[in-house]
């Protein structure tokens, strides 16, 4: 099986071709080792940082931007974003405050990326 990806590790955006052969994952089209690792991971278990917003109970701002503290399996992102959209937080919140600890047992926390008074 062969799959094609665009490497998203840096702005060069190399076109990767990844194939499984004899229990090995072969990556071509990469210009560096980071692209090889990205291609192998994307082929076997794609991961992404989760970035979204949650509702904030405030007068001036209605959404608080948040991010995960580590990458999460890509196939879980949609459900987790839906879960976070149901959440309402109250200020004050400092940048880096944990909004959800260990979301859905992924081992990742969801933290604020902005300070709200
Ligand atoms: S393979 Fe290397 S150079 Fe190419 S996009 Fe990925 S990180 Fe950048």
CATH no. for residue 105? 3.10.530.10
Indicate the average pLDDT of the chain. Answer: 95
Kindly give the distance from the C-alpha atom of residue 98 to the centroid of ligand 1, in angstroms, as a whole number: 32
My answer on whether 40 and 12 are in the same domain is yes
Question: Averaged over 73-88, what is the pLDDT?
Answer: 96
40 and 60 assigned to the same domain: no
Q: Is the CB of 2 under 6 A from ligand 1?
A: no
Spacing, Cα 51 to ligand 1 middle (Å): 22
Among the residue ranges 20-24, 44-48, 56-60, 92-96, the one predicted with the least confidence is: 56-60
Looking from the CA of residue 9, the nearest atom of ligand 1 is 7
| pTM of this structure | 0.83
Domains identified in the chain, total number? 2
40 with 59, same domain? no
68 shares a domain with 102: yes
88 and 59 together in one domain: yes
Indicate whether 117 belongs to any domain. no
3-state secondary structure the chain: CEEEEECCCCCCCCEEEEEEECCEEEEECCCCHHHHHHHHHHHHCCEECCEEEEEECCCCCCEEEEEECCCEEHHHHHHHHHHHHCCEECCCECCCCEEECCHHHCCCCEEECCCEC
Tell me: do 28 and 57 sit in the same domain: no
Nearest atom, ligand 1, residue 16 CA:
1
pLDDT at 60 over 90: no
Residue 20 lies in a domain: yes
40 lines ligand 1 (CB under 6 A): no
């Amino acid at each position: 099986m062969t799959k094609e990806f665009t490497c998203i590790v840096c702005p060069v955006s190399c076109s990767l071709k990844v194939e499984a052969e004899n229990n090995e994952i072969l990556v071509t089209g990469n210009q560096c080792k980071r692209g090889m690792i990205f291609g192998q991971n994307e082929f076997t278990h794609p991961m992404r940082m989760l970035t979204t917003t949650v509702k904030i109970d405030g007068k001036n701002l209605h959404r608080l931007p948040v991010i995960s503290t580590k990458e999460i399996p890509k196939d879980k992102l949609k459900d987790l974003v839906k879960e976070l959209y149901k959440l309402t937080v109250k200020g004050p919140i400092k940048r880096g405050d944990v909004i959800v600890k260990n979301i859905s047992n992924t081992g990742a926390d969801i933290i604020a990326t902005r300070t709200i008074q």
